[in-house]
Structure 1
């Protein structure tokens, strides 16, 4: 079963109408309890017909509360699109002497007029949404059930698949292989899952961004935990006026003892974390055997004098 979520309605449309999904009948004059319900039923209808829908016009009353009184839902191929570049055969030489190639531009928009428009109506104290305009004439070929499932509106990664993808990604499995593994586990043919490789890449990218937002807090919590396990563990951090992370430094107990014994250190900021664009400062010393020893580490917002002064002041 294909599983999508739109406006709080899980499992938007089953893959086949024979799987217990009743295809709604739409006509001018039909009423709905809310415009979300109208969009939901129109999406079910659209999937069975071989297209997808999107929300377009939203008109509000010119009152203080700006209440919405009209919503338009259109075919995903409505509109003309925008022609970003022209198709040319040969490369064009720019003013700087380099040849510039214009790429072909393709748009799925073909000015399709299929739509459904619902208006907010009132019967006594009962508020409802009524279909005022409905058109089902498409100027393009509709997709069959094996093709319509690949439209963006019907692609969705459910909670079960998300957990499985994260588990495989932690095991260093490549994304194309993750998709093949999931297809094998579900015993479906290639391309029959409700998402594709691009959706997995987007999901993993969003997860990394979400985790990155909490990395600063997690690092401080980790230092506090190490401090509770080892009282000689040392750490210090600083935030700016906007409560944003600026600097942090930490030293393990053996590094603290090493600094007390050998004293002389070299501070190196050769490396930078590309993910956070923060220089990594490392304090390195030399023991009695001529071997390098790690004495401490810090993360700095930048390489200005103020940052280095804070790092050395904390170390001393």
Structure 2
């Protein structure tokens, strides 16, 4: 009789443990799902009120005190530029280029919403709409002085500082002059150009030379690539692709800090450009989600041997902006902490 009692008790306890385990699994599943989605839209599809709200949120970050701990950073806006400069050599021409920037843009989006009261998602800049046009890139609505980000730099209004150690990759032809119209005409940057720390205006140098790399035809060729590494190289440039491709061209067509490898987040257009690159990556992933959720490859460091490949377990560093995150956890924008969609 006692043995039967103990067997019954053991069986009951086992059932209880199974139920507890099931509840834990159910809870994990709930935590792993998005309760709602932000919808990222192309800039020109936003209402004028929505555009104004986004611009106001960006300007808000330019007035909040820095938190990153980087000496040159004075504002929250500076924090993102400082972190990018610090890790720029580690996140370009590498396999984790797209995963790192996907998370970086999301951190910025969250900052706008949680610290500046922005209610929407980061918009993206679909530059194919401008590159396919016969008009100059300067005619794009993105550069509108009232409902956009201001226009080109004015020649003769900016002098490029000396780069003592020559590591900032400063090209004088891209730093034409200060932007003197639009919402950021009076904004003073504290970081850049390049790795330097100088107080300066928002500098641009719009250049139609790069339009050919940003056309819908060029993007279609990128989207046809069968593997992640081929797609990434075609999109970013570098490696076997000697051309600036969509990534580099989107930066260089704007010029100024935006055209610099290190200090590019100093131009508010940085986030819209990279949101568009992220959109293209997601569209490429959607063609075969089960496979492409796991498709990651490419060099771990720009100058490392090809045998040193990035993996899904590689940890991405964001310094004080956010905790590290594995590449694996960036692969699905329909899971937390991302929870957004593109239209």
Structure with the larger RCO, 1 or 2 (CA within 8 Å, 6+ apart): 2
- Which is higher, the Rg of structure 1 or of structure 2? 1
Q: Which protein is richer in helix relative to its size?
A: 2
Q: Which protein is richer in strand relative to its size?
A: 1
TM-score under structure 1 normalisation?
Answer: 0.23
